[in-house]
């Protein structure tokens, strides 16, 4: 009887290990595909979650969050070491000003005056880099990456825009736009946390 139990336990353990090793499926959000894995600054990142930003019933953009390992709480994400990526694909035509203003508004909603004052100069620099884009027509790919060696990098398509912005506190502040106590979209927050 003992060898049978041992074999059954070994088979169950193997099945569990194989299941855990299977890659998660890539996400499709309104026709935008987010791969289950990507590489940033030489590190392998996993898709934590992906979802849709809507406003007044209109689809604005699809978004994916890539992290060194999957986690489902904003606090754990904020303290997770290593590179990170926010990947956004616009689903309708936006002006750079609309996009920039919405992000700055999200920063202000999730920080008190004193907290935002510490971010103000870098927020202005980030906004200016966004404004230089001029327009974000439907299908524009925008990446906001945390690169530990240099800071927050804004890329449109495959091109970096502006200078990397120093300080991990700034990237954490950006994350709060979507994952903070007053997220721009509660359904999107849940989706990015893998709960959607």
pLDDT in tens, 17-55: 333 333 445 889 999 999 999 999 999 999 999 999 998
Residues paired with residue 59 on neighbouring β-strands, in sequence order: 54
Q: pLDDT digit string (tens) for 134-170?
A: 998 999 999 999 999 999 999 999 899 999 999 999 9
pLDDT at site 12? 37
**What pTM does this model have?**
0.85
Using the structure block, give the residue that is written with the tokens 């709480």: 73
| Residue closest to 166 by CA, chosen among 147, 185, 179, 181 | 147
Contact by Cβ (8 Å): 39, 17 = no
Q: pLDDT digit string (tens) for 85-116?
A: 999 999 999 999 998 999 999 999 999 999 99
| Other Cβ atoms closer than 10 A to 37 | 12
pLDDT at site 23? 44
Could you tell me the domains of the chain? 24-192 (3.50.70.10)
Q: What is the mean pLDDT of the chain?
A: 88
Q: Taking 90 as the threshold, does the pLDDT of residue 118 lie above it?
A: yes
Across the range 183-195, mean pLDDT stands at 95
Contact by Cβ (8 Å): 183, 177 = yes
Q: pLDDT digit string (tens) for 123-137?
A: 999 999 999 999 989
Is pLDDT larger for residue 187 or for residue 196? 187
pLDDT at site 25? 58
Task: Tell me which H or E stretch contains 75.
Answer: helix 74-79
What's 180's DSSP letter? S
Q: How far is CA 145 from CA 45, 135, 193, in A?
A: 11, 20, 17
Across the range 66-94, mean pLDDT stands at 95
pLDDT at site 195? 86
| % of the chain beyond a pLDDT of 90 | 81
């Amino acid at each position: 009887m003992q060898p049978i139990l041992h074999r059954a336990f070994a088979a169950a353990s193997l099945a569990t290990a194989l299941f855990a090793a299977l890659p998660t499926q890539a996400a499709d959000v309104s026709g935008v595909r987010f791969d289950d894995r990507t590489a940033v600054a030489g590190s392998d990142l996993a898709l934590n979650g992906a979802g849709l930003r809507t406003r007044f019933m209109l689809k604005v953009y699809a978004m994916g969050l890539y992290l060194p390992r999957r986690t489902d709480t904003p606090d754990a994400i904020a303290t997770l070491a290593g590179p990170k990526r926010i990947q956004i694909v616009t689903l309708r035509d936006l002006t750079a000003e609309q996009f920039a203003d919405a992000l700055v508004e999200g920063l202000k909603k999730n920080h008190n005056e004193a907290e935002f004052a510490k971010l103000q100069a870098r927020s202005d620099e980030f906004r200016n880099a966004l404004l230089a884009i001029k327009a974000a027509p439907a299908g524009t790919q925008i990446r906001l990456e945390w690169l530990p060696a240099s800071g927050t990098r804004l890329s449109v398509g495959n091109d970096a825009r502006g200078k990397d912005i120093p300080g991990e506190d700034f990237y954490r502040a950006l994350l709060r736009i979507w994952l903070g106590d007053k997220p721009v979209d509660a359904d999107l927050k849940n989706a990015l946390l893998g709960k959607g």
